[in-house]
Structures are given as C-alpha cells and as structure tokens.
Amino acid sequence: MHHFNYEQGRLHCEGVDLNEVADQVGTPVYVYSTATLRRHARVIAAAFEGMDCLIAYSVKANGNLAVLKTLASEGCGADVVSGGELKRALAAGIPAERIVFSGVGKTRDEMALGLDHGIHQFNVESGAELVALSEVAAGLGKTAPVALRVNPDVAAGGHPNISTGKAGDKFGVPWTDAPRLYEQLKALPGVKAVGVDVHIGSQIGELEPLRAAFEKTIGLVKTLREGGHDLTRIDLGGGLGIPYQASDNPALPSDYAAMIHDVTKDLGLQVVLEPGRVIAGNAGVMVTEVLYHKPAPDRTFMIVDAGMNDLMRPALYQAHHDIVPVNQPAGDSHQVEYDIVGPICESTDKFAAKREMPAVEPGERIAFMSSGAYGAVLSSQYNARPLVAEVLVDGDQFAVVRRRPSFEQMIELEQMPDWLT
C-alpha cells in the first residue's frame, strides 16, 4: 500500500500535488511519503509483535537522513555496510546498540568506528575479516560481538545480480567452513560469537527459499550450541519483495513473520531482520518531465529529463517500474506505445521498451512508481549531471531533503595541479 493517488486530476503524494513539487523543485525529483514509510515500518513491527526481534532497516535501500529520522522515530534500528552508512544512521538518531554492520569489505577504520560507538553486532564475512576485527578490537581493549555470515547455497530466485546466497556469490563464508571458523573465533582475542547471519538475496517473492535457508541455518546454530558456542541471536537478513506491478504477488509480512516464528520457536534466539525495500520501495516515486517525442520506423521514443544516472535499476537489473502520467488521463484517453529513454549517452539509458500508456505530451510529467528503494542512493553525476533532488512529504506539506547541487558545488572537490595553473 502507498499514499500516491489522483486527486482533482493530478497525482498526489498524500495531500501534495506532484506538479506543485516539480514546479518548485524542478525535475527530475524523488518524492517520499512519510505516511507510507510509517505504515510499512508499523506493519513489519506488528507482524513480529511478541518476538524478541530487532528490525534493523537496511540503510543501503534509501539512506536519506530524513527517511532514516522518520524510521528511527518508529523504533527501527539500522543495517549498515559502510562507515558512511553508520555515520548516517547515528546522525539520524538511531542508537548504536540497534545497529548491525554487514558487508564483505569493512576496513579497519570502519571496524574501529563501530567498536567506538558500541554497535549491536558485526556480521563477519570471511576468515581474514575475522582476524582483522580481532586485532582492531584487541588493540582498542574492546570486544566485538560477532555473527558469521554463512552462505547456505540456496537460490533466491529473481535477477542473478541480487542473489547473495548461492555458492559462487561473494557473500558469506562457505557453509563447510563455518564450524572451523567458529572454533577459530572462540580462540581469538577481542571477538565474541553471539549469533549466525544469513541473507540470500533481494526482491524475493516466495517464502520457500527463505525458509530453506533459515532452516539450514537453524540447524547450524543447534550444532554450534552443542559444540559449546553460546549463541543468542540469528540474523535472517532481508530480501522480502514488493509489488512493482499489478501481477506481482509477493509474500505478506504477516506470513513471513509466521514462518520465522515457526522456524525459530523455542530456541531463545533474538531475531535480527534487515528489511529495506519492503519499507521504502513503494514509499517513493521519481517525477520527470517529458522533453521530446522522437518517431522512429518501428517505435516512438519518449525522451525525458531523467537519466539512468538518476534511476539505475532498469539499466542495472532490467527492472520494471510502473510509469504513470502526473496529469490524470481521461477514462477514454488514447493509448500510445513508447520507448521511454533519458538523455545519457548510453544505449542502456532506457527505462521501458514498448510500454503502452496514455499519451503524454512534451512539457508534461510522468512518475516512476515504487522508486523509494535503490533509487536516489544509486544516483551519480555521470555526464556532469547534478545529483537528483529529494523531497519528503508529510500530509499537506513538503520539504526538500536533498538539494540539487549547482555546477559550482559539483566541482568544488576538484582542483588543478600546479603545473596546469
């Protein structure tokens, strides 16, 4: 569910007309709904009510400080994968003790940052990282709480670029290495095993692969406990999918929670979850203006002012986004088939091919739905284009929560070497 609807012939986010946002802020622009963010966070929390559960929102999905502050006010923790994300979570008011640090390439400085703030746990992804964390923690006189991320060799389905739990993926330690690494962990200074971590992918619509991975991991927890490891947590990652189009029917959070309760019951484990897309995805849209129509022998191109540098998912994953006019079309409006493309000098700068939709004229705007996750966070300044602006709506008010930089701001970190001045 989301709070984007037509009112009085215009697409609104809650009580705000998206044309008014575009008029004031310009395009392209991301627009996020506070009501949708809060609702999704509460749906997840309600689904796990009564369980010992830490909901650590995945900052990589949408790390805007205003989004994080909104979710912090709903009691969300954070899952971070860099020192920058950790600093963002802290700056937004998320307590360190509700932050987990994931990712395969933590630097020693990032480890020290997490230790200094006293985060909830480190999800360690290799033997080499474990040794490095031990050395950093011991050198600081601290003890790092550790969950080893295991790779269960379970296929999540969906696009291969968002699979993280198959043998051959870079994530997690090989399943057969886990017992040995836990024994190594027990002998190292500065680290303490507190749990096991698993995460098999993103945009997962079915519960079966998740259950298979979780049951396999629970079996490992039991084996490790029998071997003398005092494990009190299991981090089950994220990955629950959302509907990007009407035909999508992903598992409900309530069914997801019931499955996890069934798998983990009677084990006395705190469950750590890392939802990202399921909270932020349908809470945002990207609005862009139509620049031109370009007829070709076998198609009509709709050229818009947003590019793949603003919304990368279609180029990166061939991902689908519903695309709707901001001005509500009449019930009998003419349908036109467009290839919707941006201004970037890449053939992959294409948002949709042969997409049938109501006719939209140059100067009018369209909205890319379900763009709240993995949208602005993946944006870049490719082709010397400024980073896309971001707006947060709350009821009938809105605020710019990331400004579009000027050219001078875009180049202020660059400098000429002496021999060119």
Catalytic amino acids?
345
CA distance 79 to 239: 13
Can you say how many angstroms the Cα of residue 353 is from the centroid of all Cα atoms in its chain? 25
CA distances from residue 41 to 45, 70, 278, 300 in whole angstroms, order as listed: 6, 10, 9, 41
Q: Kindly state the DSSP code that residue 145 receives in the 8-state scheme.
A: E
Residue with tokens 């509907």: 243
Q: Kindly state the DSSP code that residue 189 receives in the 8-state scheme.
A: T
User: How many CA atoms, within 13 angstroms, populate the side-chain half-sphere of residue 120?
Assistant: 30
Per-residue burial over 297-329, b = 16 or more CB atoms within 10 Å of its CB, e = otherwise: eeeeebbbbbbbbbbbbbbebebbbbbbbbbbb
Phi and psi (nearest 5°) for 331? -60, -30
User: ∠ at Cα 124 (167, 74), nearest 5°?
Assistant: 105
Residue at 180: amino acid letter: R
CA distance 396 to 3: 12
Which residue in 110, 109, 73 sits closest to 92, CA to CA?
73
Beta strands in 132-262 (DSSP E): 144-151, 173-174, 191-197, 233-235
Beta bridge partners of 365: 289
CA distance 221 to 213: 12
Q: Kindly state the DSSP code that residue 362 receives in the 8-state scheme.
A: T
Quick check: 181 and 134 in contact, CB under 8 A? Answer: no
Classify 357 in phi/psi space as left (phi over 0), alpha (psi -120 to 50) or beta: beta
